Amino acid sequence: MSNQNTAERLRTALMLRHEPVAVKLLREGEEPPAGLRSPEKQMSHCQSVMAARKGESLLLSIDDHSCKNGASALGMCAVPEKTASGDFYHSAGMFGSAEAAKRMVEQRSEVPDKVTHTVVAPLKDADFEPDVVVFADMPERIYWLITLSLYQEGGRSEANTAPYNACCVDAVARPLNEGTLNISLGCFGCRKRTELAADEMLAGVPFSIIPSMMEALDEMSDGIMTKAKRD
């Protein structure tokens, strides 16, 4: 199934508000997909993801990333000193001490590779294989993503999140590193910088498990999903 067909099927069956976003991290030596443009001004990773859910396809170098905190989690640069020490988050008033904030940073997932560029695009327009597909939508929609991810093997889905780094760590780095879906309630940064609505949250899905989720969707969309409350 093509990315266009996958996106259309997901958007229709799950009643998504927005386009699923394809995210690809380019490692050293990898060529970017054709037809992408760089943003006109610097933007954070979360801003680029929200731009992609509205239709933009972008290629961002480290110089295009305004948030080096997020870029560092994606393997593009070193962790800024004030981030690593916890001073940045403590001074923002989100933690009671720099030590508490430092523990959050130490425990976050980070992409281990050297990444030169991030690519974001609506999944329907992505003529490349993403690393992760990011969904930003209301909880009922995210619920069904979790259900689809558990359909084949069962078990439980475990969320790993924090007050910061929702789009970069929670929705990209962790799903990529762990190979499993991860959800996030959003973070202070992405809620301040983007139009992520108060009733929306995030899910990051490794592209490697999308095919099995689509098989589950074929089974469920005409079955149990028709019996559910879908307001």
* Weakly modelled stretches of the chain, pLDDT under 70: none
Name the residue ranges covered by the structural domains of the chain.
Answer: 3-227
Q: Tell me what pLDDT residue 118 has.
A: 98
pLDDT tens-place string over residues 26-72: 999 999 999 899 999 999 999 999 999 999 999 999 999 999 999 99
- Ranges assigned E (strand) in the chain: 21-27, 58-61, 115-122, 132-137, 182-184, 201-206
pTM confidence score: 0.96
**How many Cβ atoms sit within 10 Å of the Cβ of residue 159?**
14
pLDDT score, position 229? 79
* pLDDT tens-digit series, residues 86-104: 999 999 999 999 999 999 9
Q: Count, in order, helices (H) and strands (E) of the chain.
A: 10, 6
**Residue 148, pLDDT score:** 97
